[in-house]
Amino acid sequence: MEKQNLHQFAPNLHKKYLLFILNGKLPSSQSSMDTNRSVLMYFAVSGLDILGEIHNIPKERRKSIIDWIYSLQVVNEEELVSGFQGSTTLNTAGNNTIYKWAHIANTYSCLVTLLILGDDLKRVNKQAILDSLKTLQQPDGSFKGAKEGVESDMRFVYCAASICYILDDWSCINMESMIEFILNSISYDGGIGQGPELESHCGSTFCAVASLALSKNLDRLTKAQFVALRRWLLYRFDGGFNGRPNKPIDTCYSFWTGGALKILDAYEFIQNENNDQYVLMTQDRYGGFSKWVNVVPDPMHTYLGLAGLSLMGFGGLTEMYCELNITTRTFDHLIDIQGTIK
């Protein structure tokens, strides 16, 4: 019997919503993100990539976006704060404060967005980024988001691992220390927290699993850890994915939880042919996806909702390369240009 979708997927509306974000228009609900426009750009461009729409962005428009991203590049080898900023909002005359420093999440977002748009990364100051990245690693193996004023946790471990993978150079970090931090963050229930002795969470679990995969260290998990981790992630499915036990299901975990399961080769154990229905229920009638049903959509949940649907093999969406949170189309481009990045 052919499966019936109770909720109609509307890719053209999502394209319209993402282009609205891409063109610099911020809904009032997202105005606080003004200083992190590079992250919003990443969500918009990544969502369009999953929809197969990148080639429909005019060449000149793609070039202007690439040039804008490079305008966010910070090269400061004296203070070792190189990388990419979130936006140019705070770049006022004579402002040489922390607001003009790079942030590890913005660096990851900008590098990935450049790849999606077909850039060759030849204008990236690779060595400056790697030198600054080295200063962000903490004695326990974790990474800070920036040189000062930012916490350290598993999110930034993932950003560091992704940056090293993209730039094809792991020499700037202490790999063993990073792996120990990840292994020490495995909780009693099998999931992984933001750090040692913290609650298991699917966001931090994805970051940890992807970091181990990118650094070719998944085999550092013992058999018992591997089994417990997959079991804990599989228990997060309840008609949709949640991020922690006894929490409501949420659109974004269709990727964070589903992506971790894909990396661990366990996604197939979700025996529910209607697992896309919750994500489709959060689809807004004007485009975009939201966290929960009847909630205002936002760029992050729109992108991650599309990514989650892609993992389900839904609607002809572009396949994901989960480890880097990009499509396989973009991953193939990265492989093509690696070795040319100076």
* Rounded-to-integer distance, Cα 46 and Cα 103, Å: 20
- Per-residue pLDDT, 92: 55
- Residue 301 to residue 209: CA distance in whole angstroms: 21
Position 1 scores a pLDDT of 35
CB atoms within 10 A of CB 215: 19
Report residue 342 as tokens. Answer: 């100076």
Strand ranges inside the chain, DSSP E: 73-74, 83-84, 143-144, 152-153, 320-321, 326-327
Q: What is the rounded end-to-end Cα distance, in angstroms, of the chain?
A: 55
Please give the structure tokens belonging to residue 146.
């920036």
Provide the pLDDT for residue 269: 93
What pLDDT is stored for residue 251 in this prediction? 96
pLDDT profile of the chain (342 residues), mean per 10? 61 95 76 80 97 96 96 92 86 61 95 98 97 97 93 97 98 97 98 97 98 98 98 94 95 97 95 82 95 93 97 92 98 92 70
pLDDT at position 4 is 47
CB 250 within 8 Å of CB 300: no
Annotation: CATH topology of 11-337: Glycosyltransferase (1.50.10)
Q: Alpha carbon of 220 to those of 9, 105, 215, 287: distances in Å?
A: 40, 26, 11, 42
Q: By the 8 A CB rule, do 63 and 27 touch?
A: no
Record the pTM: 0.94
Burial of 271 (0-12, 13-18, 19+ CB in 10 A): exposed
331, with CB counted inside 10 A (0-12, 13-18, 19+), is middle
